[in-house]
Amino acid sequence: MEITKNEDAQFMLLAGFIIAIGLVITTVMLNNIIFESNMAGEAGGDPIKYDVVNLMRISGDEMKSAYRNATNVSAPNDKMIANFTVQMNNFSANLPKIYALHGEGVNVNWDVNNWKNGYYANFTDNGTASGAANWTVIENVMDSNITVNLTTITTPFNICVTSSTKTWQINFTTAPENRTISSSQIIANISSPYTISIINGSNASGKFNIKGNASGKNFIRSRDYILYSTVTLSTSIMRANITIPVSVPW
Protein backbone atom coordinates (compact mmCIF):
# COMPACT_ATOMS: atom_id res chain seq x y z
CA MET A 1 0.00 0.00 0.00
CA GLU A 2 2.66 2.46 -1.06
CA ILE A 3 0.17 4.75 -2.78
CA THR A 4 -1.70 5.67 0.41
CA LYS A 5 1.55 6.72 2.06
CA ASN A 6 3.10 8.49 -0.88
CA GLU A 7 3.02 12.23 -0.34
CA ASP A 8 4.60 13.34 -3.60
CA ALA A 9 1.36 15.15 -4.62
CA GLN A 10 0.57 13.25 -7.83
CA PHE A 11 -3.14 13.44 -6.95
CA MET A 12 -2.82 17.18 -6.51
CA LEU A 13 -1.41 17.35 -10.04
CA LEU A 14 -4.34 15.27 -11.26
CA ALA A 15 -6.76 17.61 -9.47
CA GLY A 16 -5.01 20.53 -11.13
CA PHE A 17 -5.69 19.00 -14.54
CA ILE A 18 -9.32 18.31 -13.67
CA ILE A 19 -9.81 21.91 -12.56
CA ALA A 20 -8.13 23.15 -15.75
CA ILE A 21 -10.45 21.06 -17.95
CA GLY A 22 -13.44 22.24 -15.89
CA LEU A 23 -12.43 25.83 -16.51
CA VAL A 24 -12.16 25.23 -20.24
CA ILE A 25 -15.67 23.68 -20.33
CA THR A 26 -17.16 26.56 -18.36
CA THR A 27 -15.47 29.11 -20.60
CA VAL A 28 -16.76 27.48 -23.77
CA MET A 29 -20.31 27.38 -22.41
CA LEU A 30 -20.22 31.00 -21.31
CA ASN A 31 -18.79 31.93 -24.66
CA ASN A 32 -21.69 30.20 -26.42
CA ILE A 33 -24.20 32.11 -24.35
CA ILE A 34 -22.50 35.41 -25.04
CA PHE A 35 -22.25 34.62 -28.75
CA GLU A 36 -25.89 33.63 -29.14
CA SER A 37 -27.27 36.64 -27.35
CA ASN A 38 -25.13 38.93 -29.44
CA MET A 39 -25.77 37.41 -32.84
CA ALA A 40 -26.93 40.42 -34.81
CA GLY A 41 -28.95 39.94 -37.97
CA GLU A 42 -29.64 42.45 -40.70
CA ALA A 43 -31.72 45.03 -38.95
CA GLY A 44 -32.64 48.64 -39.34
CA GLY A 45 -34.23 50.60 -42.13
CA ASP A 46 -33.53 50.34 -45.78
CA PRO A 47 -31.76 53.46 -47.03
CA ILE A 48 -31.79 52.38 -50.69
CA LYS A 49 -35.42 53.35 -51.15
CA TYR A 50 -34.53 57.00 -50.53
CA ASP A 51 -31.87 56.75 -53.21
CA VAL A 52 -34.41 55.38 -55.69
CA VAL A 53 -36.96 58.10 -54.87
CA ASN A 54 -34.22 60.71 -55.08
CA LEU A 55 -33.11 59.40 -58.46
CA MET A 56 -36.70 59.50 -59.76
CA ARG A 57 -37.00 63.05 -58.53
CA ILE A 58 -33.73 64.45 -59.88
CA SER A 59 -34.08 62.79 -63.28
CA GLY A 60 -37.59 64.28 -63.54
CA ASP A 61 -36.28 67.71 -62.50
CA GLU A 62 -33.45 67.47 -65.02
CA MET A 63 -35.92 66.63 -67.81
CA LYS A 64 -38.05 69.65 -66.89
CA SER A 65 -34.98 71.84 -66.87
CA ALA A 66 -33.71 70.45 -70.18
CA TYR A 67 -37.14 71.01 -71.74
CA ARG A 68 -37.30 74.63 -70.52
CA ASN A 69 -33.78 75.32 -71.79
CA ALA A 70 -34.50 73.71 -75.14
CA THR A 71 -37.81 75.53 -75.69
CA ASN A 72 -36.52 78.87 -74.43
CA VAL A 73 -35.16 79.74 -77.87
CA SER A 74 -37.44 79.50 -80.87
CA ALA A 75 -36.24 76.77 -83.19
CA PRO A 76 -37.73 73.89 -85.17
CA ASN A 77 -39.01 71.01 -83.05
CA ASP A 78 -36.21 68.65 -84.17
CA LYS A 79 -33.58 71.15 -83.14
CA MET A 80 -35.21 71.65 -79.72
CA ILE A 81 -35.35 67.91 -79.14
CA ALA A 82 -31.67 67.66 -80.13
CA ASN A 83 -30.77 70.36 -77.59
CA PHE A 84 -32.83 68.58 -74.95
CA THR A 85 -30.98 65.34 -75.71
CA VAL A 86 -27.60 67.06 -75.35
CA GLN A 87 -28.42 68.20 -71.81
CA MET A 88 -29.91 64.84 -70.85
CA ASN A 89 -26.91 62.96 -72.27
CA ASN A 90 -24.62 65.11 -70.22
CA PHE A 91 -26.72 64.43 -67.11
CA SER A 92 -26.96 60.69 -67.65
CA ALA A 93 -23.22 60.43 -68.32
CA ASN A 94 -22.27 62.17 -65.07
CA LEU A 95 -24.89 60.78 -62.74
CA PRO A 96 -23.51 57.19 -62.59
CA LYS A 97 -20.14 58.56 -61.48
CA ILE A 98 -21.72 60.17 -58.43
CA TYR A 99 -23.78 57.11 -57.51
CA ALA A 100 -20.84 54.77 -58.09
CA LEU A 101 -19.15 56.37 -55.08
CA HIS A 102 -21.99 54.99 -52.93
CA GLY A 103 -21.72 51.54 -54.47
CA GLU A 104 -24.80 51.97 -56.62
CA GLY A 105 -25.10 51.60 -60.36
CA VAL A 106 -27.64 53.88 -62.02
CA ASN A 107 -28.94 54.51 -65.49
CA VAL A 108 -31.41 57.10 -66.76
CA ASN A 109 -33.39 56.79 -69.98
CA TRP A 110 -35.93 59.20 -71.40
CA ASP A 111 -38.76 58.95 -73.85
CA VAL A 112 -39.71 62.07 -75.84
CA ASN A 113 -42.19 60.43 -78.23
CA ASN A 114 -45.09 62.56 -76.99
CA TRP A 115 -43.11 65.71 -77.72
CA LYS A 116 -41.83 64.49 -81.08
CA ASN A 117 -45.32 63.49 -82.27
CA GLY A 118 -47.19 66.37 -80.61
CA TYR A 119 -49.30 64.17 -78.32
CA TYR A 120 -50.52 66.55 -75.63
CA ALA A 121 -51.17 65.50 -72.07
CA ASN A 122 -54.52 65.04 -70.35
CA PHE A 123 -55.59 67.72 -67.91
CA THR A 124 -55.31 65.27 -65.02
CA ASP A 125 -53.20 65.60 -61.91
CA ASN A 126 -50.25 63.62 -63.25
CA GLY A 127 -51.01 64.15 -66.94
CA THR A 128 -51.83 60.54 -67.77
CA ALA A 129 -55.32 59.39 -68.77
CA SER A 130 -55.69 57.43 -65.53
CA GLY A 131 -54.58 60.27 -63.26
CA ALA A 132 -56.87 62.12 -60.83
CA ALA A 133 -59.48 63.97 -62.92
CA ASN A 134 -60.46 66.56 -60.30
CA TRP A 135 -57.50 68.30 -58.75
CA THR A 136 -56.31 71.59 -57.35
CA VAL A 137 -53.62 73.33 -59.38
CA ILE A 138 -52.79 76.00 -56.83
CA GLU A 139 -54.27 77.63 -53.72
CA ASN A 140 -54.19 81.08 -52.17
CA VAL A 141 -53.73 82.90 -55.51
CA MET A 142 -53.71 86.71 -55.46
CA ASP A 143 -53.60 87.25 -59.22
CA SER A 144 -53.02 85.00 -62.22
CA ASN A 145 -53.27 84.65 -65.99
CA ILE A 146 -54.55 81.34 -67.32
CA THR A 147 -53.83 80.15 -70.87
CA VAL A 148 -55.41 76.93 -72.08
CA ASN A 149 -54.84 75.33 -75.51
CA LEU A 150 -57.34 72.52 -75.93
CA THR A 151 -56.73 69.89 -78.58
CA THR A 152 -59.40 67.31 -77.72
CA ILE A 153 -62.45 67.47 -75.48
CA THR A 154 -65.45 65.42 -74.44
CA THR A 155 -67.73 67.58 -72.35
CA PRO A 156 -67.88 68.24 -69.46
CA PHE A 157 -64.53 69.81 -68.77
CA ASN A 158 -63.98 72.98 -66.80
CA ILE A 159 -61.67 75.07 -64.69
CA CYS A 160 -63.02 76.24 -61.34
CA VAL A 161 -61.85 79.38 -59.64
CA THR A 162 -63.03 79.27 -56.03
CA SER A 163 -62.80 81.87 -53.29
CA SER A 164 -63.98 81.39 -49.73
CA THR A 165 -67.50 82.51 -50.67
CA LYS A 166 -67.95 81.93 -54.39
CA THR A 167 -67.12 79.63 -57.29
CA TRP A 168 -66.59 80.74 -60.86
CA GLN A 169 -66.74 77.89 -63.34
CA ILE A 170 -65.03 78.34 -66.72
CA ASN A 171 -66.61 75.87 -69.13
CA PHE A 172 -64.94 74.52 -72.25
CA THR A 173 -67.02 72.91 -74.95
CA THR A 174 -65.17 72.99 -78.27
CA ALA A 175 -61.76 71.85 -79.42
CA PRO A 176 -59.32 72.92 -80.74
CA GLU A 177 -59.60 76.12 -78.78
CA ASN A 178 -57.05 78.57 -77.36
CA ARG A 179 -58.36 80.64 -74.50
CA THR A 180 -56.67 83.16 -72.26
CA ILE A 181 -58.29 84.22 -69.02
CA SER A 182 -56.60 87.36 -67.75
CA SER A 183 -56.15 88.48 -64.20
CA SER A 184 -58.70 91.31 -64.64
CA GLN A 185 -61.32 88.87 -65.98
CA ILE A 186 -60.90 86.70 -62.91
CA ILE A 187 -61.04 89.65 -60.51
CA ALA A 188 -64.27 90.82 -62.22
CA ASN A 189 -65.87 87.50 -61.29
CA ILE A 190 -64.30 86.59 -58.00
CA SER A 191 -62.30 88.21 -55.22
CA SER A 192 -58.81 87.05 -54.30
CA PRO A 193 -57.38 84.98 -52.72
CA TYR A 194 -58.76 82.10 -54.76
CA THR A 195 -58.03 78.49 -55.63
CA ILE A 196 -57.68 77.18 -59.18
CA SER A 197 -58.90 73.61 -59.78
CA ILE A 198 -59.41 71.47 -62.83
CA ILE A 199 -62.60 69.39 -63.00
CA ASN A 200 -63.00 66.32 -65.23
CA GLY A 201 -59.43 66.73 -66.48
CA SER A 202 -59.44 63.28 -68.06
CA ASN A 203 -62.03 64.47 -70.62
CA ALA A 204 -59.66 66.86 -72.35
CA SER A 205 -56.09 67.11 -73.55
CA GLY A 206 -53.86 69.99 -74.48
CA LYS A 207 -51.55 72.53 -72.91
CA PHE A 208 -52.01 74.93 -70.02
CA ASN A 209 -50.00 77.71 -68.48
CA ILE A 210 -50.94 79.49 -65.26
CA LYS A 211 -48.69 82.33 -64.12
CA GLY A 212 -49.21 84.66 -61.22
CA ASN A 213 -48.68 85.35 -57.59
CA ALA A 214 -49.74 83.12 -54.70
CA SER A 215 -49.00 83.41 -50.98
CA GLY A 216 -46.73 86.36 -51.78
CA LYS A 217 -44.59 84.46 -54.27
CA ASN A 218 -44.56 84.24 -58.05
CA PHE A 219 -45.48 80.87 -59.50
CA ILE A 220 -45.76 79.09 -62.83
CA ARG A 221 -47.88 75.98 -63.30
CA SER A 222 -47.52 74.79 -66.83
CA ARG A 223 -47.71 71.59 -68.83
CA ASP A 224 -47.02 71.00 -72.50
CA TYR A 225 -46.26 67.31 -72.66
CA ILE A 226 -45.78 64.25 -70.55
CA LEU A 227 -42.38 62.72 -71.12
CA TYR A 228 -41.28 59.47 -69.56
CA SER A 229 -38.19 58.88 -67.54
CA THR A 230 -36.95 55.35 -66.83
CA VAL A 231 -34.50 55.02 -63.99
CA THR A 232 -32.63 51.89 -63.04
CA LEU A 233 -30.70 51.53 -59.83
CA SER A 234 -28.81 48.43 -58.81
CA THR A 235 -26.72 47.50 -55.82
CA SER A 236 -25.32 44.16 -54.74
CA ILE A 237 -28.60 43.26 -53.05
CA MET A 238 -31.26 45.31 -54.81
CA ARG A 239 -32.43 46.19 -58.29
CA ALA A 240 -35.09 48.68 -59.33
CA ASN A 241 -36.33 49.73 -62.74
CA ILE A 242 -39.08 52.33 -62.64
CA THR A 243 -40.75 54.44 -65.33
CA ILE A 244 -42.38 57.69 -64.25
CA PRO A 245 -44.21 60.32 -66.25
CA VAL A 246 -42.64 63.77 -66.12
CA SER A 247 -44.75 66.83 -66.77
CA VAL A 248 -42.82 69.47 -68.72
CA PRO A 249 -41.98 72.35 -68.52
CA TRP A 250 -43.10 72.67 -64.84
Partner 1 sequence: MNPKNFLKNEDAVSITVGFILILFITILVFSATILSFYTLTLHSQQAAMRESFDILGSGFVARVTSMDTLVNITRSNGGTVNQVEYDFSIPATIANEGYGINITKERIFLDAENDAKAWIPFNSSYNITEQIYSNAQDYRLSYDNNTNSMIIEQQ
Cβ closest to partner 1, residue 19 vs residue 86: 19
Cβ closest to partner 1, residue 40 vs residue 188: 40
Cβ closest to partner 1, residue 37 vs residue 218: 37
Q: How far is the CB of 233 from partner 1 (least distance, A)?
A: 10
Bridge partners of residue 109, in order along the sequence: 230
Q: How far is the CB of 41 from partner 1 (least distance, A)?
A: 4
Q: How far is the CB of 19 from partner 1 (least distance, A)?
A: 8
Q: Which residues of 22-52 are buried (b: 16+ CB within 10 A; e: fewer)?
A: eeeeeeeeeeeeeeeeeeeeeeeeeebeebb
On whether the CB atoms of residues 195 and 161 are closer than 8 A, the answer is yes
Radius of gyration over every alpha carbon of the chain, rounded to an integer in angstroms: 34
Residues 6+ apart with CB under 8 A from 227: 63, 67, 110, 111, 112, 114, 115, 245, 246, 248
Cβ closest to partner 1, residue 46 vs residue 139: 46
Write out the residues near partner 1 by the rule CB under 8 A.
3-5, 7, 11-12, 15, 18-19, 22, 25-26, 29-30, 32-33, 36-37, 39-46, 48-49, 52-53, 56, 126-128, 130-131, 230, 232, 236-245
Q: How far is the CB of 184 from partner 1 (least distance, A)?
A: 35
